[in-house]
Structure 1
Amino acid sequence: MMKGQSILLASAAVFVAVPAHAQQGADAPDAKNDIIVTAVARGQNRLDSSVSVSSLNAETIAAAAPRSVAEIFRNLPGIRSESSGGEGNANIAVRGLPVASGGAKFLQLQEDGLPILEYGDIAFGNADIFLRSDFNVQRVEAVRGGSASTFASNSPGGVINLISKTGDKDGGAIQGTAGLDYGEYRLDADYGGKLSDSLKYHIGGFYRVGEGPRRAGYDGNKGGQIRGNITKTFDGGFVRLNFKYLDDRAIAYLPSPVRVTGSNGNPTYTSLPSLSANNDTIHSVYFTQAVTLNGSNVREVDDIRDGMHPIVKAIGFETRFDVADGWTINDKFRYSDISGRFISPFPATVDNAQTLANAIGGAGAILSYANGPHAGQVIANPAALNGNGQAIGVVLFNTRLNSLNDITNDLRLSRKFDSGMGTFDASVGFYKSRQTIDTDWTWSSYLLEAKGDNAALLNVRTAGGALRTDNGLVAYGASYFGNCCRRSYDVDYDTNAPFASLSFNRGALTIDASIRYDSGKVRGFIVGDGPVTSFDVDGNGTISYPETQTTVIPLNSPQPINYNFHYTSYSFGANYRFASDLSAFARYSRGGRANADRFLFNPNTISATSGRLQPGARPVDFVRQAEAGVKYSHQRLALYGTAFWAKTAEQNFEATSQKFFDRKYRAYGLELEGSYHIGGFDLSASGTWTKAKIVSDTISPAVVGNRPRRQAEFVYRITPQYSARFFTIGASAIGTTSSYAQDTDQLKLPAFTQINAFVIVRPIDRIQLSVNANNLFNVTGFTEAEEPAIPANGIVRARSINGRTVSASIKFDL
């Protein structure tokens, strides 16, 4: 039997024997009464819809105790969420669509139906960095493919929408959580209800502080969020005001050195002595400040402990009301003042400590500790350093997000028409957004010992004693990357999108079609990469050796950005309801995604003089998708199966490798989910089998026919749970088969399964005690690796999921 067929049969076995309720969360599996509101013209019953949609309710999310929103998304079928970067900076994709650079390019993350950011893959500003889940969330809905192409801009792969509580129920809760084997303390609270018969509200948030799930040596996670809304209802509609304030610091975990033995096709990954791949990080209490030149070439001192530091001040409204002749108007508006920082050490090179020292100071270079408990001490035997003999050439990703301000408005007008043939449901709308991307890249280079739990910086002297570093600083620029990446750019993306949909229902049959036309203007400037020069950074009148390796931003040479884009998306499908508990659907869609700031980094895409598009540059990438599926929901049992096919064209740029991509992909597969409920017992599972390959590549044709990097053939989730009067106990297994680290299909990332478990006790009314273990068996699960093959020294830079973390909570219902 062929390998693909084996996986397909295994998927079917999981689907039949262990059905999942990802589609229902912890609720009983009754899709007949479920109404979906994400990426559709108006609220629609699931069994009548011709889209693939899943939801997770608040109880399901809380029981899993995810450490980030990316870990929530792993519970959604068809979603590939690489949740190894901390509380943001995750790579997220849908149904085999590629992750050529990072972030969530073809997927949009939303709160209450409007995007967090217009583009999910802004360099060092991925949308999930600005998103937190707390007690405000009522449920999470995910639409994969289908109508996501026409009911949202720049989201042909799908939409994940966090839907807020609105005070429909009086009351709230307060919960305190503490890490039992890691440093974190968190307080969550919310409250809502009716102020009068026509006025209701909800408000909530969290605050937390702690080292985080890995040993960083300082409080890597610190901050919180408050969100709220107030709703006024009236005859025929409502108006709702909402706000959000987020100010949070979350440590950003980047790849770490690991040793790989065996072969590329059958590798064994092991942690280096003194540096655990899933419990340690190269962040350190001895590496917390960075002296650099800012976006104006002025000296500044930055705090590495800022990590991912999103600051969001958002205000908006939503209204729906009936107008003449049966028409209904729905409008959503949000203004988000967004800024912050992304700063984290990236291992640009890892090698024997003496080899790296010689590269900086010449043959016979002398290594010493720059700081820490052994500051000033010469390292007499670098080969024995920390039991691994390695050192890390660090490029500090130091990026200031001056402004990611986003203003969006989604206006819709809809009406149902009854005719002799059946019922027509028509909708027209207009979407408007303006996304600013104003960012400074002020990177620098350091030398660090390969050690977890507070590594020290290293100094290098020549054999003659001349100092070549400054307290571990090698260069005021990304010297390990060829002195690239000191940049400044300020660009506005203005998008207008009229759209329309029409559906027809007659008895058991529903047919729908929708179309969207996006047009936009991109205006602004980009400056960089700058030249390497001597610069008295510290202003002491003396030029040190690292100061002779200073990269500056050429402020007098800005390059204009001045181009337009436009594209049409469409989707049409049909659903037939064979019975009250059984339906089948089919759909075909084409959706576009306008390229954002990563598109600007390649000189072959934008003219340096006019800012116009160069010949062959594509400002928009397209995804074509077909899907067909069956939905069944009856009393205790729900089953869902969808076959899918997608073809994607993409141009992209990766900051770490400085590579430009221009290729096409194809993916097809099978998505399965379901649930079974009897008494207090729930059993759920989901599995997605995907066959993906690169079908063309204009820059690297050698990769044609290969499986795209980090694309596993099968990902799955299995969750049993049992609830009684005084307790609930459950677990989940989330796993993936192997994948390739890079598009050359050489080095494999091994398969892994992560087990989470929880127990909840309710000793008296309104009080709940719980203990949750995330990654109970402390497995290492690698989601990415920088090297395409095992190098000569056997050291690969890879990123693993976090190790075991156990937390305890006490919750009081109010």
Structure 2
Amino acid sequence: MFKKHAIALSVTAVLFSSQNALAQEVEAQAASAEEVEQSAAEEKNVERIIVTGVTRNTHKMEATFSINTITEEDMKVLAPHGAADLLGNIPGFFPEGGTAGESHNNVLVRGLPQAGGYRYVPNLIDGLPMYEEPEAPFMNNDVFIKPDLMTTAVEAVKGGPGGVLYSNALGAAVNYVTRTGTQDFKGAYKLEVGDWGHVRNDFFVAGPINDNLTYALGGFYRVADGIRDPGYTGNNGGQLRGNLLYVSDDGSTEVKVQAHVINDKTNFYQNIPYSVTNNREPGTADNPFEVSPSDVNNLGVDFGDGTVLSHQTSYYELYNPDGSQLILDISDGIEPKFNIFTLEVSKDFANQWRLDAAVRSTSGSNGFYSLFNDPPTERAQLEAEQFSRIQSFDGLIGDAYSQAVGVKAFYSDTVAGVDLSGAERADSILAHNIPVYGLVDATSNVADVRMSRYFEFSEQSHELTFGLYTSHYTYDVQSVFASAWSNISESSRLVDLYAVDENDQQVGPSITEGGVDQPALFGLGADATMRTNALYVLDHISLMDDRLQIDIGGRYQELDVDRVTTNSFDPGNQANDFTPSDVIVGSTEDTLADNFVNVPDGTPRFASESYDDFGWTIGANYRLTDTITTYLSYADSFRLPGFEDYIFGGPATNPSTGEIARGDLVEDIKQYEGGIRFADKRYELSASAFYIDFAAKENLGPALDDLTDTGANGVSCASVPAPVNCAKVRDSFRTSLENFGIELEGSYSPSWFEGFKLQGSVVWQDPEQGQDSAVRNGIIETDTDGDNVNDTRSYDISTSQDRRPRRQSEWLVNLRPSYAFADLPLTVYGQFMYYSERFAADGDTNVTIYPEYTQINAGAIYSVSDNMDFQLHVSNLNDADSFTEGSSVTQGLQFSNGDYKGVARPLLGRTIKASLTINF
């Protein structure tokens, strides 16, 4: 770590040592260049053009809806670790700190309740999705989104015409604008190093080929150990993309072709085990339990930069459905490999018609190789549970364990043969790891064709647009979730379990192999083909000498699904015994790990399903003065079902009755918003208020024993132990959300403090859920007579009624001050981000709060010359502590000393990176 910091400091010293030699030249150029640059920037702020949520380029001040922009200069100063980190600078967005790493994060927007991913926030590049479904399991939207020097702006539309022009933009649509060439040649190269073994190279070149044809080419390549260093190179790869733009002599025709290749690999960070001293009962709705980082024990892994991933815990031998070996190498991380090709055509006709057509083809695969964590377990408890388990066996396996006096856990790398007397016992607290293998093969072919007509009617002007959108996409996935054991440290070691005799000699088959006790807890398999078609219309009307702008439009969309699924947790599937034929059952060469393997080998389920909905919007913008506008919008939008709904979420069969339950999977939202915008050469401010009325999809509770029924031998299903063959019950329920909120965003450069600038946003929201019925979500066993033996079973019933959605803050503050020195080519900047407390879950039992936090980022940019900049950036300067997600504190999750245990995903700790950018 010292060497990494020393490198960054050395580079800084060398560059700053050139200041004296360059001082006179820089000073002479700085004043005039700064004046020109500042004047251009100020003018650009007032006249900023947007391309998202509109059918023709529009001034941001005149938008009839909520629009936020991040400029190329903003991205330079923000220096994000990835797309989610960048999106956290859009008011109303909460990306959970980018705590999963560079990709596969969760991005929440305006309080909408979701499990994770990008469900309500499709991310687009140049107005088209890279893949139609924004929240595909094992392939979140951000595996395609990797901002680099080819990205010139990011624009986010919330409400308004976003749901008319784009698929599934129920909460928001984010558009990344790509650089194209001009008749002036230019380019840049950027070298970036970070103190987590990070080295990244970015570049772009752009310019003319002839008077009509220009080009742009760029991308990045990066290697890094990872902020949470697993002991190997966790991030490795990048992307390359380029485009050719043809513009006719008269400017009426534009044709752009673009190719984009992604071949990348990034670490995926998951929850870390922890414990909390038991100084009070678990929380309730009236008295929540607040998990304060200062009271949390990390059990061996540092919350800022630690991980339970290591060389040992990154490699597992799992199984395919046919019993063949399936190798899981978690060092491959999140591994997208895609080829994307795009064609865009625009044509203005002489009679005021305009054609805009865009076609995109995406094909490739995404690997999802990760290590999830369940709450930790005490070794003694695990050994006792496994000993009780082997004592229940009969037949060959039961006989093999007849001489066992117990089960012991040893470090796998210390075991040699059946004599375990010299092997090292594992730590007293162990991590329960869930290795996950996921591989998605996917294609997506999208076309968006618009015909627009400009005409004038009376004292009005109209730009009427008719659009046809179609997408044909496929999703083929194989996944396996396993169970394994290790210690909890930053060089975690695998742990294996053995039955032993009095002399610590192995008895019978090993209970685990390679740290794995179950090579497949369950698996998900699907092969699906989807087709979605949409018709939309949007009329942009100008009135009152262009002082009043009105947008009104609607979208009808349908979705057809043909799918085949094999999910190993579906009723009727049995565990597989994959013991090799050359292994003697019950011998010490045998293992229980291959006796109960739940890979997705069930009978394939074929289904064809269709969904559709209609949404519409109306909005207006009125220019009060040259620098003040006000707007008001209403949008009734929808989201059609995604893969987790119609592939992995249902329909569900009641094992007792055979009844197939299926809820309403189409989600709807009504958004009301009004605001006012101010813009001048020295300030820009947008203030808005919104109200959301959201209806989520219908959900199904888990299949549980019917406690009013009787099972085998007439024993009540409410008794402990539970009898077999209890009938099952399953609840269905639907949640809703109402949210009031205020968003302030702006920038200010005071004349009385030249060089100073303050940018940022403040968001307050009050999201509150509703639920049409409570749900039985589990069964609790209770000791009613005080003999320390549970004797009754009852339902754990909860509702999210009147609760704030999980992991959603009421306050989100993001302030970014900067100061450009007058006598030095140096700009210093900072960022203060505040997020108020969040609930770990949104049920009404075991109410747990993860605390508020303030994170500070800071940096400096030094202009070595007109064409060379050096930047030093520190993220989480104050080493803020908190958790963005995690388990709730519950009575059932406790160690023997009474301490609560759980898992949570903490903020990434302090990081330092430096970059050198050369423009030419």
Q: Calculate the TM-score normalised by the size of structure 2.
A: 0.80
- Measured after TM superposition, the shift of residue 529 of structure 1 is 1.4
Q: Which residue of structure 2 aligns with residue 459 of structure 1?
A: 496
Structure 1 contact 29–638 (Cα < 8 Å) conserved: no
Counterpart check, 1:671 vs 2:743: yes
- Measured after TM superposition, the shift of residue 752 of structure 1 is 0.7
- Tell me the amino acid that sits aligned with residue 676 of structure 2: V
Unaligned stretches of 5+ in structure 2? 1-37, 281-287, 389-404, 585-589, 705-730, 776-797
Q: Which residue of structure 1 aligns with residue 718 of structure 2?
A: none
Q: What is the number of residues matched between the two proteins?
A: 771
Q: Which residue of structure 2 aligns with residue 18 of structure 1?
A: none
Separation in 2, partners of 1:137, 1:654 = 41
> Equivalent of 1:411, from 439, 449, 465?
449
1:390-789 correspondence to structure 2 within 5 Å: 390-401=429-440, 403-452=441-490, 454-464=491-501, 465-466=506-507, 467-478=510-521, 485-507=522-544, 508-529=547-568, 531-536=573-578, 540-542=582-584, 543-554=590-601, 557-600=603-646, 605=651, 617-651=663-697, 662-678=734-750, 679-698=754-773, 700=775, 702-724=799-821, 726-744=825-843, 746-787=847-888, 789=890
CA gap 1:224/1:803 in 2 versus in 1, 3 angstroms: same
- Measured after TM superposition, the shift of residue 336 of structure 1 is 0.4
- Tell me the amino acid that sits aligned with residue 77 of structure 1: P
- Measured after TM superposition, the shift of residue 116 of structure 1 is 2.5
Separation in 1, partners of 2:133, 2:451 = 26
Structure 1 contact 29–676 (Cα < 8 Å) conserved: no
Structure 1 contact 134–188 (Cα < 8 Å) conserved: yes
- Measured after TM superposition, the shift of residue 590 of structure 1 is 0.9
> Equivalent of 1:122, from 115, 121, 136?
136
CA gap 1:773/1:73 in 2 versus in 1, 3 angstroms: same
Unaligned stretches of 5+ in structure 1? 1-23, 479-484
- Measured after TM superposition, the shift of residue 616 of structure 1 is 5.1
- Tell me the amino acid that sits aligned with residue 244 of structure 1: H
Counterpart check, 1:244 vs 2:244: no
- Tell me the amino acid that sits aligned with residue 807 of structure 1: K
Structure 2 contact 330–370 (Cα < 8 Å) conserved: yes
- Measured after TM superposition, the shift of residue 532 of structure 1 is 4.3
CA gap 1:321/1:747 in 2 versus in 1, 3 angstroms: same
Separation in 2, partners of 1:800, 1:32 = 40
| 1:661-680 C-alpha deviation (Å, 9 max, x unpaired) | 73111111111111102432
Separation in 2, partners of 1:200, 1:493 = 36
- Measured after TM superposition, the shift of residue 357 of structure 1 is 3.1
Q: Which residue of structure 1 aligns with residue 8 of structure 2?
A: none
Separation in 1, partners of 2:272, 2:733 = 25
Structure 1 contact 286–372 (Cα < 8 Å) conserved: no
- Measured after TM superposition, the shift of residue 608 of structure 1 is 11
- Measured after TM superposition, the shift of residue 614 of structure 1 is 5.8
- Tell me the amino acid that sits aligned with residue 305 of structure 1: S
Q: Which residue of structure 1 aligns with residue 319 of structure 2?
A: 293
Separation in 1, partners of 2:90, 2:193 = 27
Q: Which has the higher strand share?
A: 1
Structure 1 contact 278–803 (Cα < 8 Å) conserved: yes
CA gap 1:257/1:379 in 2 versus in 1, 3 angstroms: farther
Structure 1 contact 338–406 (Cα < 8 Å) conserved: no
SS at match of 2:646: helix
| 1:73-94 C-alpha deviation (Å, 9 max, x unpaired) | 0011111211211111211122
1:311-390 correspondence to structure 2 within 5 Å: 311-362=337-388, 364-371=406-413, 385=427, 389-390=428-429
- Tell me the amino acid that sits aligned with residue 441 of structure 1: S
SS at match of 1:174: strand
SS at match of 1:550: coil
SS at match of 1:305: helix
| 1:740-788 C-alpha deviation (Å, 9 max, x unpaired) | 0000261001001111111111222322222111111222231111226
Separation in 2, partners of 1:292, 1:399 = 12
SS at match of 2:557: strand
Q: RMSD of the alignment, in Å?
A: 2.6
SS at match of 1:355: helix
Separation in 1, partners of 2:359, 2:607 = 28
Q: Calculate the TM-score normalised by the size of structure 1.
A: 0.90
SS at match of 1:104: coil
Structure 1 contact 526–558 (Cα < 8 Å) conserved: yes
| 1:13-35 C-alpha deviation (Å, 9 max, x unpaired) | xxxxxxxxxxx9x9548554112
CA gap 1:221/1:373 in 2 versus in 1, 3 angstroms: farther
- Measured after TM superposition, the shift of residue 360 of structure 1 is 3.1
Stretch of structure 1 that moved more, 72-81 or 418-427: 418-427
- Tell me the amino acid that sits aligned with residue 364 of structure 2: I
Separation in 2, partners of 1:89, 1:372 = 36
Max Rg structure = 2
Separation in 2, partners of 1:783, 1:461 = 37
Q: Which residue of structure 2 aligns with residue 792 of structure 1?
A: 894
- Measured after TM superposition, the shift of residue 399 of structure 1 is 0.8
Q: Which residue of structure 2 aligns with residue 7 of structure 1?
A: none
Structure 1 contact 107–159 (Cα < 8 Å) conserved: yes
Counterpart check, 1:78 vs 2:92: yes
> Equivalent of 1:96, from 74, 99, 111?
111
Q: Which residue of structure 2 aligns with residue 4 of structure 1?
A: none
| 1:325-364 C-alpha deviation (Å, 9 max, x unpaired) | 1100001111000312101111123121222233334484
SS at match of 1:67: coil
Separation in 2, partners of 1:379, 1:589 = 66
Separation in 2, partners of 1:632, 1:144 = 19
Q: Percent identity?
A: 25
Stretch of structure 1 that moved more, 628-637 or 317-326: 317-326
Separation in 1, partners of 2:756, 2:306 = 37
> Equivalent of 2:57, from 37, 40, 43?
43
Separation in 2, partners of 1:608, 1:344 = 32
Separation in 1, partners of 2:214, 2:701 = 47
CA gap 1:323/1:373 in 2 versus in 1, 3 angstroms: farther
| 1:101-132 C-alpha deviation (Å, 9 max, x unpaired) | 22111111011110122222211211012221
CA gap 1:377/1:413 in 2 versus in 1, 3 angstroms: farther
SS at match of 2:594: helix
